[in-house]
């Protein structure tokens, strides 16, 4: 049996639901079971179960750190920007239906869109192993995660700023400095727009952003006037973002 498959009993423990509930979810398509034989026992993809359990950041972190990468489950995998845009539109519609977000749902959508588009723009035609991004959210917990296994911000920006020598310098540059109006660097200016939205203290909906590339991380929230970059205790290629609102 594939090591990423777990039994129905393990799935009930993680999700804290009954086997009957899992069977109903299987029929409804909420969480599809995997049968190794036509009449065999139900197994579940571990990552599907973890995502449904809303441990989104843990799943995304595991994915960017793994040395044996696989494409994420199709529900959360955007292989190209057109798939990402379609799912972003679906998210926007769902956010619009949340009563206290009716005036600011578009700001959250914009932040997600800029981060996702940044991954596609900076890795266009040069993905290292897995093309595309992991994009998942839990609106009950008001969490959104995005991750890619691309080249990372340092390698991208060194093309136009070869003096950059660390992930920390590159991350600070990406969120604060307009480099040039020439392609492809113009595409990277979206992260400065993200900073402006997240830190705007005039919003009625508080937002928080965790962002990491390489071993450099930042945390942003409403009202921040400066950016502090920290070293993480783990490092990876690509980008990882968690948005709370």
Mean pLDDT value across residues 209-219: 97
Mean of all residue pLDDT scores within the chain: 90
pLDDT of residue 187: 45
Pairing of strands 77-78, 133-138: antiparallel
Mean pLDDT value across residues 1-8: 74
Sheet holding 229-244, edge to edge: 77-78, 133-138, 143-148, 229-244, 208-221
Q: For residue range 30-60, list pLDDT tens digits in order.
A: 788 998 887 788 899 887 787 677 678 888 9
Do 140 and 203 lie in one domain? The reply is yes
CATH code where residue 226 lies:
3.30.565
Q: Show the domain range for 157.
A: 56-244
Q: Which of 43-57, 95-109, 110-124, 215-229 is predicted with the least confidence, judged by mean pLDDT?
A: 43-57
Do 173 and 235 lie in one domain? The reply is yes
Strands (E), 84-191: 133-138, 143-148
Share of the chain above pLDDT 90, in %: 68
Q: For residue range 154-183, list pLDDT tens digits in order.
A: 999 999 999 999 999 999 999 999 876 444
Do 48 and 162 lie in one domain? The reply is no
Q: Residue 120: pLDDT above 90?
A: yes
Do 97 and 23 lie in one domain? The reply is no
Q: How far apart (Å, rounded) are the C-alpha atoms in residues 206 and 140?
A: 16
pTM of the model: 0.78
Residues 6+ apart with CB under 8 A from 212: 218, 232, 236, 239, 240, 241
Do 204 and 226 lie in one domain? The reply is yes
Do 25 and 128 lie in one domain? The reply is no
Mean pLDDT value across residues 70-91: 94
Do 132 and 217 lie in one domain? The reply is yes
Note whether 191 and 180 are within 8 A (CB).
no
Do 142 and 189 lie in one domain? The reply is yes
Do 42 and 102 lie in one domain? The reply is no
Do 160 and 235 lie in one domain? The reply is yes
Q: How far apart (Å, rounded) are the C-alpha atoms in residues 167 and 231?
A: 9
Do 21 and 105 lie in one domain? The reply is no
- Number of domains observed in the structure of the chain: 2
């Amino acid at each position: 049996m594939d090591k990423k498959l777990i039994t129905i009993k393990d799935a009930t423990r993680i999700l804290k639901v009954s086997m009957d509930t899992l069977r109903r979810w299987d029929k409804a398509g909420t969480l599809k079971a995997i049968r190794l034989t036509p009449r065999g026992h139900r197994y579940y993809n571990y990552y599907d179960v973890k995502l449904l359990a809303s441990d989104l950041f843990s799943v995304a972190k595991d994915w960017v750190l793994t040395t044996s990468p696989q494409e994420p489950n199709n529900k959360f995998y955007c292989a190209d920007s057109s798939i990402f845009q379609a799912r972003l539109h679906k998210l926007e519609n769902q956010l619009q239906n949340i009563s206290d977000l009716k005036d600011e749902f578009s700001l959250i959508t914009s932040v997600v869109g800029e981060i996702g588009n940044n991954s596609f723009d900076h890795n266009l035609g040069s993905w290292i192993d897995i093309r595309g991004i992991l994009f998942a959210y839990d609106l009950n917990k008001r969490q959104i995660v995005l991750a890619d296994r691309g080249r990372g911000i340092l390698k991208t920006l060194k093309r136009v700023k070869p003096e950059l020598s660390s992930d920390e310098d590159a991350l600070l540059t990406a969120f604060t400095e307009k480099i040039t109006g020439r392609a492809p660097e113009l595409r990277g200016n979206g992260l400065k727009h993200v900073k402006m939205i997240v830190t705007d203290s005039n919003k009625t909906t508080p937002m928080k952003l965790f962002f990491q590339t390489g071993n450099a991380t930042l945390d942003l929230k409403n009202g921040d006037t400066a950016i502090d970059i920290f070293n993480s205790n783990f490092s990876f290629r690509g980008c990882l973002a968690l948005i709370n609102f």
